Structure 1
Amino acid sequence: MPLLPAPRLIDPAAVPALRWGVVGTGIADRFVHALHVHTGQRAVAVTARDADKTRAFADAHGIGRVHRSVADLVGDPEVDVVYVATPHPLHREQALAAIAAGKHVLIEKPIALTAADATEILAAGRAAGVLVAEAMWTRYLPQADVIRQVLAAGTLGKIDLVRADFGSLVPFDPTGRMFDPALGGGAMLDLGVYIVAFASSIIGPPSTIRAVGTLAPTGVDDSATIALKTDAGAQAALTTTFGAVTPVEATVFGSRGRLDVLAPFYGPTGLRLQLHGADAEMWHDDALPTVHDGLGYQATAFASFVGEGLVESPLHPHDEVVSVLATIDEVRRQIAAD
């Protein structure tokens, strides 16, 4: 009998077909493609800074309405949910505008620059009675559900350690988004959010945070090595960098064995379970043509939560969103102070 269970998937046809308004045209290109190809959700409006690029984006994805401003888009009565896909420093203002207009909001990761801003956004959503979620798409992948089932069954025994890495070679450009402090640059707010969020999903919030790293000439962090420990004693060893390509893998170690999340662990890939004294068991996710087609899973999940009248994701609750950013805040503080 296999120890890696089948994922429990949400039927895209069984959730409300929401009308999405899109703010930004970067990662939104992949998201809207996945939305239209793999779900029953539809993008119906878009706005972004560059009018020509926005019109081209709308034409490419069959989006009928191009708005001149965020205010116009969030005020559109034909929009049910706003997807905020702009640079991090704009998330707070744009999310609050959408919430004030009574819209549900999915906000690209990180949801904000700081834990304090995240708290403000999430509290506003709760007060308005709308669903607000961070677009941590990894949390909604089939393999994430398999992992949750493995942990709930105690298959790995007592969880002792989580490892995760995410490194990418990013040439230094002082004017580029990755290195510009005004644009929320730095490895931790770009790649690092994935590794911290993965550790959080396994061991919960840390009580101890230790970090070393390096700073780019612009002052943003461009690498970090992080050790986390919880009150229960579970630990995490996490690394991120702009200076090298790393395996981009994650592993959960327990008293009975290990569970490897294949590269790139943040997307739909696969799992390898190795228990002590047993043969390895593999599970592969090859249902989609590209990694980023997996973005559709979070859209379907989001729509299901709206249908249930929820104001936060049960798979990625508000407290955890804030906790992950609080960890990132502290890591960045320690690196800057070193």
Structure 2
Amino acid sequence: MSDRIRWGILSTGSIAATFAEDLRLLPDAELAAVGSRTTESAERFAAAHGAARAHGSWQALVEDPGVDAIYVATPHSAHYEASMLALRAGKAVLCEKPFTLDVAESEEMVATARDSGVFLMEAMWMRCIPAIRKMAELVRDGAIGDPVSVHADFGMQGPFPETSRLRDRKLGGGALYDVGIYPVTFAHLFLGAPAAVQAWARMSAGGVDENTGMLLGYDSGAIAALTCSLLGDTARTGTVTGTLGRIDVRRDFFHPHGFTLWRQGETEEFDLPYEGKGYQFEAAEVHRCLREGLLESPLIPLGETLDILRLLAEISGIIGLDYSS
């Protein structure tokens, strides 16, 4: 591995732009290339973000010998196609969440990566944020006792027009897979896989969920109450309660700069500020894994990614969210 990890970004949308800007915060990262379905789009992105090369096709990007890792930033519905192209070309892949809208396709991605000896990781950036990592460490070390409940919500101010990607079923629109994956992942981080699942949703005329609630039950007796929405701007907070204390995460629990630990009548503030939007931390985790010769991240294991996708599929079945046609 060279002194710098050479990145290729596949797609040129807003999340690709955010990732490109945050890469600048890593001294051992280089934005080597960008790939799009059109040369014009790739060239505009390269000029705006300092990519050395612009490719007018995904295939050309994954075949670029000057690229070590590919960040897949397409809409959900194209993750499988783009990631498989990169994996088959032997390129390490950081794929935006969710991997796919179909569990079998995600399982195939994981099997392809493992069989080929190629690195693969879901870009669940929340798991890499310093404050989230510190929370997980505290809970593992027993700071709040045994976890008994998780509460988390993520709602965005709506209503979004039917023409929005967020409402387009063919692009994987809806609240659950776009923003609901964050509270679901937050609960999984502290409680693992649930034993029982209940869910309710208001569905749009176009067949995607726009306001969803989930209640998860665990063998330990713990519960998780989670919501996601495209209709209103919720508090976007997260709370983990245990037998000895509680952790409260401020606004935007999925990329916080700090949190409060409540324990035995006393509080402790944890402040972990950072520059940028926070995407640099998932890129740094890819760098660490590649330099250590790892094929998957211990921080975001592929098995956990698949577990969460299976849970989202179960919730989808309950609320009637169907991307198959």
TM over 0.5: yes
Name which of 101, 120, 126 aligns with 2:108.
120
Deviation at 1:172, TM superposition (A): 3.4
Deviations 1:120-166 (A, max 9, x none): 11111111111100000111111122112201210100110001100
Deviation at 1:309, TM superposition (A): 1.2
- In the aligned structure 1, how far is the partner of 2:96 from the partner of 2:3? 21
Name which of 139, 160, 167 aligns with 1:172.
160
Deviation at 1:16, TM superposition (A): 5.3
Structure 2 runs not aligned, ≥5 long:
none
SS in 2 for 1:178: helix
- In the aligned structure 1, how far is the partner of 2:273 from the partner of 2:283? 19
Deviation at 1:104, TM superposition (A): 0.4
TM-score by length of 2: 0.95
- In the aligned structure 2, how far is the partner of 1:40 from the partner of 1:275? 40
Q: Which residue of 1 aligns with 2:314?
A: 330
Q: Which residue of 2 aligns with 1:11?
A: none
Deviation at 1:39, TM superposition (A): 4.0
CA contact (8 A) 2:40 2:56 kept: no
CA contact (8 A) 1:261 1:269 kept: no
Name which of 109, 115, 119 aligns with 1:131.
119
- In the aligned structure 2, how far is the partner of 1:226 from the partner of 1:16? 45
Letter aligned with residue 328 of structure 1: L
Q: Which residue of 1 aligns with 2:93?
A: 105
CA RMSD of aligned residues (A): 1.6
CA contact (8 A) 1:16 1:304 kept: no
What does 1:153-164 correspond to in 2, within 5 Å?
153-164=141-152
Name which of 312, 318, 326 aligns with 2:296.
312
TM-score by length of 1: 0.91
CA contact (8 A) 1:213 1:223 kept: yes
CA contact (8 A) 2:239 2:246 kept: yes
CA contact (8 A) 2:38 2:56 kept: no
Q: Which residue of 2 aligns with 1:282?
A: 269
Name which of 247, 261, 274 aligns with 1:259.
247
CA contact (8 A) 2:7 2:31 kept: yes
Q: Which residue of 2 aligns with 1:44?
A: 32
CA contact (8 A) 2:246 2:262 kept: yes
Q: Which has the higher contact order (CA 8 A, sep 6+)?
A: 1
- In the aligned structure 2, how far is the partner of 1:95 from the partner of 1:319? 17
Deviation at 1:276, TM superposition (A): 2.7
CA contact (8 A) 2:39 2:55 kept: no
Is it true that 1:181 corresponds to 2:181 in the alignment? no
Name which of 265, 276, 301 aligns with 2:285.
301
Name which of 259, 265, 269 aligns with 1:271.
259
Q: Size of the alignment, in residue pairs?
A: 320
Is it true that 1:91 corresponds to 2:79 in the alignment? yes
- In the aligned structure 2, how far is the partner of 1:169 from the partner of 1:331? 23
Deviation at 1:202, TM superposition (A): 0.7
SS in 2 for 1:151: helix
Q: Which residue of 1 aligns with 2:4?
A: 17
- Describe the shift of the 1:50–1:173 C-alpha distance in structure 2 as closer, same or farther (beyond 3 A): farther
Structure 1 runs not aligned, ≥5 long:
1-13
SS in 2 for 1:315: coil
- Describe the shift of the 1:39–1:299 C-alpha distance in structure 2 as closer, same or farther (beyond 3 A): farther
- In the aligned structure 2, how far is the partner of 1:282 from the partner of 1:75? 48
SS in 1 for 2:247: strand
